[in-house]
Amino acid sequence: MPGSPLVSILIANFNNGRFIAETMESAVRQTYPNTEFVIVDDGSEDDSLSVIERFISAHPEAKARLVKNTDHKGCGRIKRQCVELSEGQYFCFLDPDDTIVPEAVATLMEVFKAHPEYGIVYCTHYLCNENLEPQGVSTYPGRIPEGQSHLTSTEGHISALALCNRKIYDQTLGINASYQVSEDQDLYLKMEEMAPVFFVDKPLYYYRKHDHNTSWDDNKVFNNFYWKYICEKAAYQRRRRQQLRVDNLSRKEMRKRSFSFYWRCCKNLFRKKFAHA
């Protein structure tokens, strides 16, 4: 539709064949009139590719693009690849085991229409079981208190679904391809340094909790903590170097975060040592 900027829905997939058809269905059913969706498969070893190809063939009306990586490049690299392949003036990530409500993109784009200077418009999400049945609404996303930021917030945080302004994204160094997890947190931190962000207090995203997703797998909890610390430390140093406002985060607080990180490193090493004793 004329006058509606293109929005790219980006799906970075690895071995989510049992869920991804439902994910793509929610992307296709968006009420917003001008979307594309880009799927990058990161060398999946399950039936993901056949599921994706069948879905695209069955929906010729969808503006869809599939790129197949022959090897597994990792989360940061594949998400950066998604952005580079997209053509939208705005983009959002939709994880291949999650879904969005039909009006998700339209709701967030209403804010951008009134405030094109914003960098990110985001919302809260439903916490669901493996069957995608809502068990509640997450309290992690929320409005960031005045005088704070995503880096320093004691209350609200940026989370899925986050619709990003490509013009603002291009002013940053982009997604760090070396990150295995927390690449989204790194992105939010970079973008909030360039432009305001805005919270829409509606759950527009269904987050599926299951045995194999990155955030909840017990074997990956420490890895998640490590990368979160790395991106927070990088943001703090970047803001100090560029003489940007660091809000309520002092050097003392960063030392406390560093101590907490190394303490968890030690506990993790001891746990592994005694587990194999």
**Distances from the Cα of 18 to the Cαs of 37, 204, 219, in angstroms?**
19, 22, 22
Three-state SS at 86:
coil
How high is the pLDDT of residue 223?
73
Residue with tokens 């746990």: 271
62: left (phi over 0), alpha (psi -120 to 50) or beta: beta
2 is a domain residue: no
- 35-72: pLDDT as tens digits: 999 999 999 999 999 999 999 999 999 999 999 999 88
**Residues 101-121, buried b or exposed e (16+ Cβ, 10 A)?**
beebbbbbbebbeeeeebbbb
Distance CA 186, CA 175 (A): 7
Q: Which helix (H) or strand (E) holds 223?
A: helix 221-241
* Count of domains for the chain: 2
Say if CB 97 and CB 23 are below 8 A apart.
yes
Q: Which of 200, 217, 234 is the last residue of a domain?
A: 217
Structural domain that includes position 159: 7-217
Neighbours of 173 (CB within 10 A): 10
From first to last of its 277 residues, what are the pLDDT tens digits of the chain?
458 999 999 999 999 999 999 999 999 999 999 999 999 999 999 999 999 999 999 999 999 999 999 988 889 999 999 999 999 999 999 999 999 999 999 999 999 999 999 999 999 999 999 999 999 999 999 999 988 889 888 889 999 999 999 999 999 999 999 988 889 999 999 999 999 999 999 999 999 998 655 454 445 666 777 778 888 888 888 887 876 655 545 555 556 655 565 565 666 655 655 555 4
Distance CA 77, CA 46 (A): 20
Over its C-alpha atoms, the chain yields an Rg (Å, rounded) of 19
Residue 257 and residue 168 in one domain: no
Distance CA 206, CA 71 (A): 29
Q: What CATH number corresponds to the domain at position 144?
A: 3.90.550.10
Pick from 29, 102, 40: nearest CA to 62: 29
Residue 150 and residue 190 in one domain: yes
Residue 67 and residue 177 in one domain: yes
Residue 121 and residue 232 in one domain: no
Residue 41 phi/psi, 5-degree rounding, is: -95, 125
Pick from 15, 229, 107: nearest CA to 221: 229
pTM: 0.86
Residue 269 and residue 176 in one domain: no
